Structure 1
Amino acid sequence: MIRFCLSMVFLTLAAPVSAKEAPDDGFNPEALDAVKGLQRLDQRLHNIGYRLVHANIRFCDTKAARTGLLLNDVAQYADQKTARFALGFDSSIGITAVAPNSPADLVKLTPGDTLRAINTMSIDEITVDDPELLAEQPAYRRIAAINRMIEQALVENNVQLTVSQKGINRTVPIASVLTCPGQFQIRVSADRSASADGKLVRVSSRLAEYFLDDDEFAAVVAHELAHNLLKHRERLDAQKVNRGFFGQFGKSARRVKEAEIEADRLSVWLMANAGYDPQAAIRFWTRYGKEHGKGIFSASTHYRWKKRVQLFEEEIAKMAAVDPVDGKYAPPLLAIND
């Protein structure tokens, strides 16, 4: 997960640091609040994303090995000293979030743990000179290298992580589970937006703060995840859809709208399978639509909010008319891989 500069960004969600928590050696309380607030958003999105991809694995034709861990590198922050204190790390690399009931949770890894080694390799020995990492910004290359090393070790089913918990080192073997593919990122921004690029789901910090509960949060995440699971970017690229100004008209606009409709329809099935209330999609878009018109997007490529609500109602009715198997509803738009 990419972390943006927080030196001038103060999240309104963040609770103030109490006098007992605040250090007395010159930390900026507002900067501490910003880091802690972003971590809370990261944790919410990480947990929601993990639930969605884990619960719907049966219906995905591509699978990914997951531990439930979200790692962070303080090098991604302008004020590294403040970030390290706020996140609770003893060093530069640590755990930001652990998805409940994930393999990482089962071995009692916790947010604030500092990562010391992967198998026998110390974190300090991991190099970032691989050509494949050059596409990443310099501050993000080390965490990308670490995540890739863990992913490769998971394929071999041989991962031991050495972590420091409150200054005490422990080494734990960590397993993985197969999930649908999906990566999730909070993007620090003053706008309210969400997007999908084929692999990654991004939600802006301001939009994340707007949700009333995790069910509403999951409604938007499930919509963006649906785009990725349905390979909409690949399909639109193959159709040579124009994503620029002229993409708002004609054939391109029609094809983008078709993809948006599919993502809306699939999203409530993904939500229900993960234990989220699909009615939250109706609640969110009704509230947001009344306040902001068409919703997050104002282009002709998206339905107005009332039409979106109608789509959700239709899909929820379809779910009510079928019997789940082992508590899961088979989404009509996804292949079933039993």
Structure 2
Amino acid sequence: MLIAAPLLATTALAAGSSPRQAAPITGTGQATFEAIRALDKRLATIGFDLARANRALCDRQAPGTGLVVHALAQYDANPRAAAAHFAFAGNVAILATVDASPAADKIMPDETLVKWGDVAVADLPTATPTAPLIALYDRTAQASPTAPVQVETIRDGQARTTTLDPIPVCRTRFELEISDAVNAEADGEMVQISSRLLEEYPDSEVAVLVAHELAHNILRHRDRLDAAKVARGLLAGVGRNARLFRQTELEADILSVHLLVNAGYPPLAAATFWRKFGPDHAGGWFRSATHPGWRERAARMQQEGEAIAAGRADPKAPPILQQRTVPLDGDWRALLAAD
């Protein structure tokens, strides 16, 4: 999987901290490596745009640069081929940059990262392939969202230092899972999207899923579920647990409409996408137990989008955001669209 963060983005092919374990990359040719680069940049761009446009709605912000980074240890199928293709001169390197971001045209792909501010890459943990990437994000995300940062890199044996001027973004890293599964998840700090989704859907539709998962983080659903002592695993779809999960899903649906509008997407983008996506991918007993039906979800997003389009709701100040500090009660039906 790949990690794409507002601060920076990274390739994570086997990240133990992810909601699910990622499949290793088996291809080792140039086409595979460049496909990874393209997918990661696409997700990084979607995530960066949403995190930048909605920073005022986030009570936790991070410095956004638009850098996409990856670690050599992630390419365990053939590290020598990866090292040669991406010109690794160390463990962590620049995979891509988001267009029109602070890093664009200042730091180039295939530069090896040596130091980020006072964080030396050589000092980062290496217990898992993505450990240095996650540690790098966690440490740098704590910096001032607007403070200039000096980034030291190496390319073709030449060391150089570049000063970047970050912009504030919502604190979340975005991670691309290399997988044939249809999967989108959030864990409070990270949003994970499977590569299959990017392969099957255009960016404008992937953005709907990214916005939904980002909404989970903004609304602090992981913390609120933990505070409610929710059970996960097979028990998640039973009784009170299921009601609590359904409440978080609908809250995220509602907020996602506002996040999308703030980033320039049409008010009905979410509802339109779910009517296309839902029939094929929203089934199964477990998912139906923890998530409301896709028709109910689409109807609620339609209602929210229409309210924004008619000027009855302000995407810059969505009332659902107030729930961020309210304990979950499981009353998910109260969030459904009115008849």
Contact persistence 2:253–2:301 (CA under 8 A): yes
Indicate how the Cα distance of structure 1 residues 296 and 273 shifts in structure 2: closer, same or farther if over 3 A, else same. Answer: farther
Contact persistence 1:189–1:206 (CA under 8 A): yes
Residue 306 of structure 2 aligns to a residue whose secondary structure is helix
2:184 to 184, 194, 205: 194
Letter in 1 for 2:316: Y
1:331 to 293, 318, 321: 318
1:239 to 225, 228, 232: 228
Q: CA deviation at 1:108?
A: 2.0
Contact persistence 2:257–2:267 (CA under 8 A): yes
What is the match of residue 301 of structure 1? 290
Residue 112 of structure 1 aligns to a residue whose secondary structure is coil
What is the match of residue 34 of structure 1? 32
- Within 2, Cα distance between the matches of 1:289 and 1:145? 36
Contact persistence 2:146–2:165 (CA under 8 A): no
Q: CA deviation at 1:65?
A: 2.0
What is the match of residue 17 of structure 2? none
What is the match of residue 151 of structure 2? 161
- Within 1, Cα distance between the matches of 2:286 and 2:46? 22
Contact persistence 1:285–1:295 (CA under 8 A): no
The within-5 A match list for 1:63-74 is 63-74=61-72
Residue 138 of structure 1 aligns to a residue whose secondary structure is coil
**2:98 counterpart of 1:102:** no
Higher CA-based Rg: 1
Indicate how the Cα distance of structure 1 residues 214 and 236 shifts in structure 2: closer, same or farther if over 3 A, else same. Answer: same
- Within 2, Cα distance between the matches of 1:277 and 1:296? 32
Percent identical pairs in the alignment equals 35
CA deviation string 1:27-78 (max 9, x = no partner): x53xx33332222221111111111111111122222222221211112211
Q: CA deviation at 1:96?
A: 1.6
- Within 1, Cα distance between the matches of 2:235 and 2:139? 42
TM-score normalized by the length of structure 2: 0.79
**2:179 counterpart of 1:180:** no
Contact persistence 2:64–2:145 (CA under 8 A): no
What is the match of residue 161 of structure 2? 171
Number of aligned residues? 305
- Within 2, Cα distance between the matches of 1:119 and 1:301? 42
Letter in 2 for 1:334: L
1:261 to 235, 242, 250: 250
Q: CA deviation at 1:275?
A: 1.6
The within-5 A match list for 1:127-146 is 127-128=123-124, 133=125, 137-146=127-136
Indicate how the Cα distance of structure 1 residues 166 and 315 shifts in structure 2: closer, same or farther if over 3 A, else same. Answer: farther
Contact persistence 2:62–2:144 (CA under 8 A): no
Q: CA deviation at 1:218?
A: 0.6
Letter in 1 for 2:99: P
Q: CA deviation at 1:224?
A: 0.6
The worse-fitting range, judged by mean Cα deviation, of 263-272 and 81-90 is 81-90
- Within 2, Cα distance between the matches of 1:149 and 1:227? 22
What is the match of residue 16 of structure 1? none
- Within 1, Cα distance between the matches of 2:225 and 2:134? 28
The worse-fitting range, judged by mean Cα deviation, of 224-233 and 62-71 is 62-71
Residue 36 of structure 1 aligns to a residue whose secondary structure is helix
TM-score normalized by the length of structure 1: 0.79
Gaps of 5+ in 1: 11-27
Residue 300 of structure 1 aligns to a residue whose secondary structure is helix
